[in-house]
Amino acid sequence: MTALERPRMSFWKAVFLAIVAVGLVLCYVRFTKGLGAVTNLSDKFPWGLWVGFDLLCGVGLAAGGFVITATVYIFHIERLRPVVRATILTAFLGYILVVSALMFDIGRPWAMWHPLVMWNPHSVMFEVSWCVTLYTTVLFLEFSGMIFEKLKWPRAMKVQHAITLPCVVAGVLLSTLHQSSLGTVYLIVPGKLHALWYTQTLPILFWISSVAAGLAMLIFESRLSSKAFGRQLEMPILSEAGRVLAAVLGVYGALRVYDLGTRGMFGQALDFSYESRMFLLEFVGGLLVPFVMLLFPKVRANAKWLYGAAVLTILGFVTNRLNVSITGFEGAQGGTYLPSVSETLITVFFVALGFGAFALGVRHLNIYPENEEKHGAGTKTAKPEVGSAIEATAAAPVVREMATAVRIPTA
Amino acid sequence: MDTIPTAKSRAILFDMVRCTGCRGCINACLKTHDFKGEAKDTTELSATAYTAMRTEGEFNVRQMCRHCVTPSCASVCPVGALHKTDLGPVVYDESKCIGCRYCMVACPFNVPRYEWNSPVPAVRKCDMCIDRLKEGKPTACAEACRFGATVCGTREELVAEARKRIAEDPDMYYDHIYGEKELGGTNVMFITPQPIESLGYKAKLGETPLPNLTWNVLEKLPGVVVVGGAALSAFWWITNRRDEVSAAHAAAKHDATNGGTHKASGENDHDRA
């Protein structure tokens, strides 16, 4: 973390460019020689790192997009409004990267549009592909306001502004379907997925844990941005997110324990077999510890500790998704799967692109409130309807005043 | 979902008691599909081996697609590239496939194979010689078998035949037709000298077709969308109304300073109407 605290941009740029160069070479190999040339995927493990991490985690970590827009636009919890832009940017970039990673993972990416015309409503994957398509479109519409603002296109902003609420409602519904359906995908393999993870409640567990992951990402990104660009959210907002995160983790953990208990799985969970150890890593390290940490107001008020809890939550989430998609299959499939070096590097390539795009966004668009103050000060009083493009059409003036008050930079 | 096996659909019965391990079926399958492999080396399924045989103790264990009555692979395919034909076989249409490989993950028997080293890969599995079936001929493997160990016929006929063989020689057979009821039934059925789990086949599969597990959730989704959409809109209306009321109170107090914001309230009224 010391490197981040004193960002040496030239060094990180060099790392970034090296990763991109390697990624492009591997991209060429992947599309000319096939999946076998770059991955350790096999007939026993047809899905690996790209599905387990790039797809399942990518979508989950983008969940802040629907959680925060719902909180602010539907439930009018205005103190979280300064967070909206960062989460929409994250979600939009997240989905773009998920779609890009899918282009690598699916065998025939040129046929990616087929589910739009060749319907099979019995397939969860059919639902997933429609959710990805529609929600990426919705996220683009939500994100476009920031671009229009940068380009100073007031008319486009007005149109974008007018469709914000329908977009938010559609986004929440599509996200709920998408997050849960990634769990539903695994309901058809009761004989293959280990009973520690196979449960009828997978869709609900996937949905709740994605909410936690989205909130944790918010805290995580804000800290990184503050280190890299000196732009971040104020502690009261982050503490608030930490408080909500504790509640979500509590509900998720309780449901997980209840589910394991009703299925009589406590013995297997604690027998220290390979699966049990992976489960405990996920459950204790990535759920119990951050949950207990976040219960303490002192942790929530301290930037470093809060960041630590968020990182643990994210790691726990990633472990859970990899357990469901990989660990849980190893017993039944009789073998182990570890991603190849090339496979891992391609994932690193996508993550690097994600970080790069987020950095570009923070630098050039009006993402974090310090920035917003600078740009928004003039428009706020004179022309409220072309102020911040993401501001709700529905925001009442008094509430808007409140939100502005919260946004006063700490520095 | 249709879970009743059609009696007249085509099926295959593999009788492990009668099998001598001559591998005539494997050889016929390789030849029919122009695959290069040798029958004696074909012990595992692959993209160029739609059936395989390995030995488990003194027994010959044949592997192939079971052509489930309610196939998981066809149910999970987002584009319907795999589908169950009325004739019996579960067939694959390469031109539809997007390569998501959910069929491979979902198959309870781990049958579908992938062309991992092709830039234009496809899923590969037994098609039960559907072209031969259409001409009224048996599958290549059944035609090649000289011992009646692999037989082709209607599902109804083969279930009756299996029962007859078990009844006539109860000492030689384990009294169970593997595939008659498993997962809602399959069009490829096995009769064996021992319980199937001792022969390396997946056992304890239950009699419920697996696609029901996902359909139970999928069928609820339209309801979730309608109820969820209505609930979100209702929540928005309530919170918005509450803000408007408090805004109106505030506006009454600060009339002079808040000129621009009256317009915002007006827009909201318009939105609601």
Q: What is the ipTM of this complex?
A: 0.86
What does A287-299 look like in DSSP terms, one character per residue? IIHHHHHHHSHHH
Binary contact (A381, B260; C-beta < 8 A):
yes
Contacts of A124 in chain B (CB under 8 A): 76, 102, 214, 217-218
* CB-closest option in B117, B120, B267 to A37: B117
How far apart CA B109 and CA B100 sit, in angstroms, is 18
Write out the residue range of the structural domain in which residue A349 sits: 15-188+342-392
Distance CA B218, CA B202 (A): 27
Interface of A with B in 160-189 (CB under 8 A): 165, 169, 172-173, 176-177, 181, 184-185, 187-189
Query: Residues B9, B154: contact at Cβ < 8 Å?
Result: yes
Clarify whether residues A235 and A90 are in a common domain. Answer: no
Report yes or no: B193 and B171 within 8 Å, Cβ to Cβ. no
User: Where do the domains of chain B lie?
Assistant: 10-211, 221-272
Do the chains contact at A120 and B100, CB–CB below 8 Å?
no
Q: Average pLDDT of A215-234? A: 82
Q: Tell me whether residues B217 and A203 touch, CB distance under 8 A.
A: yes
% helix, strand, coil for chain A, step of 5: 80, 0, 20
Specify the residue for token string 């012990």: B43
CB contact under 8 A, B243 and A381: no
Mean pLDDT over A85-89 rounds to 89
Specify if A399 maps to a domain.
no
Distance from CA of A211 to the nearest CA of B (A): 17
> A111, B97: Cβ pair inside 8 Å?
yes
A153 DSSP assignment: -
Q: Which residue has the higher pLDDT, A263 or B260?
A: A263
Q: Which of A296, A311, A339 is the last residue of a domain?
A: A339
Question: Chain B: residue nearest A45 by CA?
Answer: B105
Does A353 share its domain with A250?
Answer: no
Nearest residue to A131 (alpha-carbon basis) of A57, A194, A182: A182
Q: What is the reported pLDDT for A402? A: 36
What distance in Å separates the CA atoms of residue A406 and residue B46, rounded to the nearest whole number?
63
Please give the pLDDT value at position A98. Answer: 92
Q: Is B19 helix (H, G, I), strand (E, B) or coil?
A: coil
Nearest to B218 among A35, A70, A122 (CB): A122
Residue A353 domain flag: yes
Residues A38 and A176 in one domain: yes
H and E: helices and strands count for chain A? 22, 0
Secondary structure of residue B31 in the 3-state scheme? helix
Do A383 and A298 sit in the same domain of this protein?
no
- Please state, rounded to an integer, the average pLDDT across all residues of chain A: 86
Mutate to test the interface with B, among A27, A32, A33, A43 (most CBs of B within 10 A): A43
Could you read off the pLDDT of A287-301 as tens digits, one per residue?
999 999 999 999 999
> Quick check: B272 pLDDT over 50?
no
Residue A384 pLDDT exceeds 90: no
| Interchain CB contact of A122 with B (< 8 Å) | yes
Confidence of residue B5 (pLDDT cuts 50, 70, 90): low
Per CB-CB distance under 8 Å, the chain A contacts of B118 are 34
Is B202–A42 a contact, with Cβ atoms under 8 angstroms apart? no
Query: Is a pLDDT exceeding 50 seen at residue A1?
Result: no
What per-residue confidence (pLDDT) applies to B258?
53
Residue B183 near residue B201 (C-beta atoms within 8 A): no
Identify the weakest region by mean pLDDT among A231-240, A295-304, A390-399, B226-235.
A390-399
Q: What is the mean pLDDT of residues A273-287?
A: 96
b/e B156-173 (16+ beta carbons within 10 angstroms → b)? ebbbebbeebbeeeeeeb
pLDDT exceeds 70 at position B107: yes
Q: What is the pLDDT of residue A4?
A: 52
**Based on the number of CB atoms within 10 Å of its own CB, is A204 exposed (0-12), middle (13-18) or buried (19 or more)?**
middle
Above 80 in pLDDT, residue A321?
yes
Q: What is the Cα gyration radius of chain A? A: 21
CATH 3.30.70.20 given to domain B10-211: yes
In the predicted model, is pLDDT for residue A121 greater than 60?
A: yes
Contacting residues of A for B1, CB less than 8 Å apart: 122
Position B161 confidence tier, pLDDT thresholds 50, 70, 90: very high
pLDDT score recorded for residue A407:
41
Tell me the mean pLDDT in the region B149-166: 95
> Within this chain, do residues A196 and A318 fall inside the same structural domain, yes or no?
yes
Q: Say if residues B102 and B77 touch (Cβ distance below 8 Å).
A: yes
Are A160 and A199 in a shared domain? Answer: no
Q: Same structural domain for residues A32 and A165?
A: yes
Give contacts of B102 with chain A, Cβ < 8 Å: 123-125, 185
A346 neighbors A294 (Cβ within 8 angstroms) = no
* Residue B244 pLDDT level (bands cut at 50, 70, 90): confident
Determine the residue of chain B that is closest to A127 in CA distance.
Answer: B78
Q: Within this chain, do residues A353 and A322 fall inside the same structural domain, yes or no?
A: no
3-state secondary structure of B54: strand
The strand pair at B10-15 and B52-56 is best described as unpaired
Question: A335: burial class by Cβ within 10 Å (0-12, 13-18, 19+)?
Answer: exposed
CB atoms within 10 A of CB A209: 27
Angstrom distance (rounded) from CA B151 to CA B158 = 8
